[in-house]
Amino acid sequence: MQIKELLKNNKISLRTYNICMEQQWHSSEDIRNYYNEYKHFDGIKNCGKRSMEELMRISSSDFFDRLQQEDMLHKQLLSSFQTLVPLQREIIDSYIQMITTSLPPRLKNTLDMYFTQGMSLQAFYDFYTQSQEKAIKIRGIGRRNTLDLNIYFDKIKYFIIEISKVKDPDKIMVFKEMCVNQNIYPIENIPTEVTRLGFFKVVDYLLTTPALFDEGKIKLFSKAFRFYQYTIGLKLREIGKQMQITHERVRQIRNQVICDFFKKLPVIRAFNDDLLTQGKIDVSGDVVTLTPEQVVWLNQKSQTQFTENFIYFILCIYLERFEIVGSLSDVLYPHFSKKKNRHNWKRIYLVSKVIYPHFDWDGFVADITTLLEAKTAKAYELSLKDKVSAFMLDRTVSWERVAMVAALILKDEFGLKVEGDHIIIPRNTYKQINEYAYEALEALGTPSYVEEIAEKVKELYPQTNFTHAGIRSSLKREYGFVPIGRSSNFGLKKWESTVENFKGGTIRDIVKEFLQQQQRPQTLQQVTTYLLQYRPHTNSKSVLTNLKAEASDTFEFFQNSLIGLKGVNYPEEYGLVVEQPVKKRTWEENYQAMSEFVRTYNRLPLSSDKIPQAIVLYRWMSVQRNLIKNGRVSGEKQALFHALINQNYENITS
């Protein structure tokens, strides 16, 4: 065979080709003749270890026999490619995935970089048919990995050829169990007393004996993973101290074990038992769900103590037709704190491979997480259809199928209710005093005093402990409430439009509103008649007194008992009456009035008093407390005030 032909067929490297040209070797026969004469290739210029190995291989007596075998294998392989049925192709893909994950890390990483879409039957076919034995052309494949790579490719070649010979679908599945699963671990080595309990017990056996994993990894199972219900998780640093390795090395081993699981545990697929059927576990739908009772039953039947999430993990490997939605690290690793800025998964979900690739599961969960982190003072609804549709990647499957799984995740992961097409987003802020008061007033159904509102709040929510002052302050501050005069009597703002003859505010507020609707001043009788709709216990005299005491000078008074608003240009025919300002009582006069009230009634005035004088005195008492608090009352007056309001009224005689 000519040297150029050897180079073309990748039997030698370019370096070796150049060496042959330098030595005037134009055929394989020239190389063998040189070797037969000198018995080595030492001392040849630029001939390194790799080139020497290539030359030695060409010089061997069976070189042409191996070339013929390779040529025959090549023809068989090309023929097998053409006859493969979909089931065979699926099994080959599984086989390639399995043996790829078992490659040395450096070699696997090199292949991942070369086969950017992942190694598969199609990728192997494209690669192989472009150039037979092209392995040496893959950038990054060193001399140490060449042998492993050739073995890897040979496994794929022979597997394709052998499975292509099997035509019966049932026999194809048997072939899979024998060739794929047995490639991982010889199942006949597993004791009968283990296999009779089913594939969950087989997993338990593989985790506790040095069958699939070495002693170092086995030690981690009870410390670094939440596989078993009795597991007491340890921090990586603590595990490292016990195993006399660094916590970083513990982390690396732990992560590698999960990868090993995916490539080694498929051996359990060789066990065809009716465990799931016995437990009435439905695995035919788009998602697998287990009840707490089924988890208990599976463990009892299998004589295991697996966690619910690890059972889901095993089912995913065993059933093949499902993908995992969720974070394995969240559910299978012990955690001592929650991860920030992302959702911390409570469980994993087995979602059918039919719908899994058509929906952005991570994006959906991240969106819900962000939505729930925002402050929500009031519950509201979202459309399930709109939310699911926003994360559909295509329309290959209906949104309804995806929505069923999405609703399960919303319920189990976030505790959200889904009613029909509506996602219920609950409030996530503490209930405020005004909200309790609002509900109490709604229950009372009529304007009520602060004390009555407080009693109703306590009746509706016994666990609360709000003060009257706190409730009063909230009623005055928050929108939705209206005062009824100045007597600590309140109603709901909405009642003004729903309840007949109801209007909040003071008498002055109502009169001002009435006069704003009129073009001329109104008589006292007209004003009083209007007021009686909303304040039935008032009269003309008290109305007039109230309006004349207005500190802001809102009202103007005209001849013939007419009342108007300041700032309004009324006709000149109305004669304005100049009123003398009402003299205000001094501090001493108010103190004397308070003292007389205490002697008369043996108590302090209340905001809810029916006695007109008491309401005025209560207001004065509140003002004095604020002034004293701000240091605006002299020490002498403070002493008199405190002595009055802090005395024992039971000892006072009228």
**Residues 333-351: tens digit of each pLDDT:** 887 777 777 899 999 999 9
Residue 69, judged by CB atoms within 10 A of its CB (0-12, 13-18, 19+), counts as exposed
Average pLDDT over residues 566-570: 85
Residue 341, judged by CB atoms within 10 A of its CB (0-12, 13-18, 19+), counts as exposed
322-325 and 287-288 beta bridge pairing: unpaired
* Beta-carbon contacts of residue 621 (< 8 Å; ≥ 6 apart): 594, 604, 605, 645
Give the model's pLDDT for residue 292: 93
In angstroms, the first-to-last Cα distance of the chain is: 135
Which is more confident, 99 or 347?
A: 347
**Torsions phi, psi for 437 (to 5 deg):** -65, -40
Average pLDDT over residues 492-508: 86
Angle in degrees, 0-180, between the axes of helices 49-59 and 63-83, rounded to the nearest 10: 90
pLDDT-above-70 percentage for the chain: 91
Give per-residue pLDDT as tens, 171-230.
777 666 655 555 555 566 788 898 889 899 989 988 888 777 777 777 777 777 888 888
Which pLDDT band, with edges at 50, 70 and 90, does 134 fall under? Answer: very low
Q: Please calculate the CA angle 610-625-640 and round it to the nearest 5 degrees.
A: 95
Closest CA to 352 of 400, 405, 313, 389: 405
Which pLDDT band, with edges at 50, 70 and 90, does 652 fall under? Answer: very low
3-state secondary structure of 44: coil
Which pLDDT band, with edges at 50, 70 and 90, does 133 fall under? Answer: very low
380-383 and 422-425 beta bridge pairing: antiparallel
3-state secondary structure of 381: strand
Residue 228 β-bridge partners:
306
How is 351-376 classified by DSSP, letter by letter? EETTTGGGB-HHHHHHHHHHHHHS--
Is the model's pTM score more than 0.85? no
Closest CA to 428 of 484, 349, 369, 355: 369
Residue 17 host element (H or E): helix 14-22
Give the model's pLDDT for residue 73: 76
Closest CA to 307 of 221, 236, 237, 238: 221
Are the CB atoms for 304 and 204 separated by under 8 Å? yes
Closest CA to 103 of 54, 57, 138: 138
555-558 and 562-565 beta bridge pairing: antiparallel
